[in-house]
Amino acid sequence: MQDASNSATKNTGNRYLVMMSLTAIGVVYGDIGTSPLYALRECFAGQGNLAVSLPNILGVLSLIFWALILVVSLKYLVFILRADNNGEGGILALTALATPLHAANKGQRRLLVVMGLFGAALLYGDGMITPAISVLSAVEGLTITTPLFKPYILPITIAILTGLFWFQHHGTGGVGKIFGPVTLVWFLVLAVLGVTQIIQQPQVLAAVNPWYAVSFFYANGWMGFLVLGAVFLVVTGGEALYADMGHFGSRPIRLAWFAVVLPALLLNYFGQGALLLRHPETIVNPFYHMAPRWALYPLVVMATMATIIASQAVISGAFSLTVQAIQLGFSPRMAIEHTSTREVGQVYLPEVNWALMVACICLVIGFGSSGNLAAAYGVAVTSTMVITTVLFGFVAIQRWHWPMAATLLLCGGFLIFDCAFLGANFTKISHGGWFPLLVALLVFAAMSTWKQGRKVLAERLRVTAAPLTQFVEHIQSFSPRKVPGTSVYMNGNPEGTPAALLHNLKHNKVLHERVVSLSVVTEDTPRVSLNDRFSVERLAKGIYRMEIHYGFMENPVIPRALKGFAIDDWTFDLDQTTFFLGRESLVASNKKGLSPWRKYLFLFMAKNARSATSFFGLPPDRVVELGIQVEI
């Protein structure tokens, strides 16, 4: 009986692993799965117009093979996925893991935070380019059947992108159910197309020998180095593996990669190489030329569906990244809509969504083809990969206490590949690579300005705010009039007296019978357990100092947290509670703290930030705002 029970449990666990792996194929591998549409073509038809010859084909295929093995399989699947921040991954989660709040070396922590923040900013540029190049490259397949479609490629692409971004407010739950099966079919199609060509030219399989890659560099010199920028297109989805770890866990992601994704990608790339050996003229679009003519239209439809799924994953990633930035204090509060009652991670941010849509459409119009867009693609992701390797090294040494020599050797090896790809991609800057860098610099400037501005604002308020304990002693000496109910004063400085509390007492001459100074604290972990959610200190009869702790992946909905929470002999009743908020009216001044351009940028962002009432989910009819003027 015991053996039967263990067997049933094991089978259930295996079925769950397979289902999670199938779902991961759709969400995690959509980006890297659409690279065959353009990657090999750009290796030959990109910046250098590399000759389509046997040595060059085998050399490029060897580079592609070892890039997928060393960068994705070894670096990300084997090592980077180990760096989970309580189950979560991604550049900001890794930054939080590498830079604990109480780190001894403050200078090192500040540098790593800056690196992680810039890495996150780079991903916004990637989020703009990925939907544009993916959908555009899929639709371009229509020109293989007939040139009559050529004038309609851009309008069709723009229409698909517009529909994709319009759909975001409905949420991804419904579409997510078909992501896995559709993408699985896509990878099977990739494999079948590749096998049909390899059978006719099996000598391409010799490219697994790394000597062909070495010979390629020796024969082509600088041109060979430039080709690395196009070879990198085959691994651009590597960061998504890590960013989506929190949704699936590392085991399903690894199983999906080694069982389905890697074999399908390799077969397709080698199949394209086999086709080029027989028909070099098909370099204009080797992917679609692998298919028989009758299958072109179904293949274009399938490719478009795959690219929409790939784009969806990137867009959702931008939403999640923005939520993390808000919680960690790097972004102003924005409207966050939850599109699922069951999955807390499914969110929709209107401002981010429409900004990405406008950027994608402008990129399609401005660059005109997926080939031109490929020149802009890669700079952002390679830079982020370098930063990820550096942060991983600090986590391995300081958190896990790995031997320094072994860690430096491992990360140094990864950096050789990362920096080679980065250098090759930097040659694309004048051809469009400047765009993601410009986006990253703008986002980084905004995020760092907001963080520094909030710090300066907190210092200004701290100087004028008396210690809360001192205020409690003061009011006990003259006992102000008490009114029934509970007042909650939102307080950014747990040690100081909320300005709204001082103003209320000064102008209204009364206090509620229960007064709570409430601070929301965001920890450097993705989520906080319910046992660690609250910390409460009783300062005097009816006066409390409370902190509510959230992780950077959680949304601080205060009424939900307080509902039914008991302190001493009373329980929170939202119908008898009034929330007091201090609304700061910010004014630019000559005081030190921020440079002039940062002051005006901070004031602009603060003016357009979402109100604390809606961000914390406070009932508007239970909120009182008291304004104060602060010079920045």
Asked if residue 456 is part of any domain, the answer here is: no
Per-residue pLDDT tens over the stretch 47-73: 567 889 999 999 999 999 999 999 999
- Count of structural domains within the chain: 2
Per-residue pLDDT tens over the stretch 260-313: 999 999 999 999 999 999 999 999 889 999 999 888 889 988 988 888 888 877
What pLDDT does 287 receive? 93
Per-residue pLDDT tens over the stretch 414-425: 999 999 999 988
Residues 580-599, mean pLDDT to the nearest whole number: 79
Does position 74 have pLDDT exceeding 80, yes or no? yes
Asked if residue 228 is part of any domain, the answer here is: yes
> Sorting pLDDT into bands at 50, 70 and 90, what band is 104?
low
What pLDDT does 102 receive? 59
The residue that leads in pLDDT, 316 or 58, is 58
What type of residue is 152?
Y
Least confident of 181-185, 344-348, 550-554: 344-348
Are 27 and 133 in a shared domain?
yes
pTM of the model: 0.81
H or E element at residue 2:
helix 2-27
Are 473 and 415 in a shared domain?
no
Asked if residue 121 is part of any domain, the answer here is: yes
Are 85 and 220 in a shared domain?
yes
Strand 481-490 relative to strand 510-522, pairing: parallel
Q: Which residues face 481 on adjacent strands? A: 510
Q: Do 515 and 497 contact (CB within 8 A), yes or no?
A: no
Per-residue pLDDT tens over the stretch 10-42: 555 678 788 878 877 877 888 888 899 989 998
Question: Any idea what the CATH number is for the domain that residue 158 is in?
Answer: 1.20.1740
Asked if residue 310 is part of any domain, the answer here is: yes
Asked if residue 91 is part of any domain, the answer here is: yes
Asked if residue 451 is part of any domain, the answer here is: no
Are 436 and 489 in a shared domain?
no
Percentage with pLDDT > 90 across the chain: 31
Are 470 and 439 in a shared domain?
no
Q: Which residue range forms the structural domain that includes residue 493?
A: 465-631
Q: Do 56 and 50 contact (CB within 8 A), yes or no?
A: yes
How far is the C-alpha of 599 from the C-alpha of 139, rounded, in Å? 45
Most confidently modeled of 118-127, 320-329, 438-447, 603-612?
A: 438-447
Are 434 and 471 in a shared domain?
no
Are 478 and 591 in a shared domain?
yes
Q: Do 277 and 61 contact (CB within 8 A), yes or no?
A: no
Question: The sheet that has 481-490: what strands, in order across it?
Answer: 534-540, 543-550, 510-522, 481-490, 577-587, 623-631
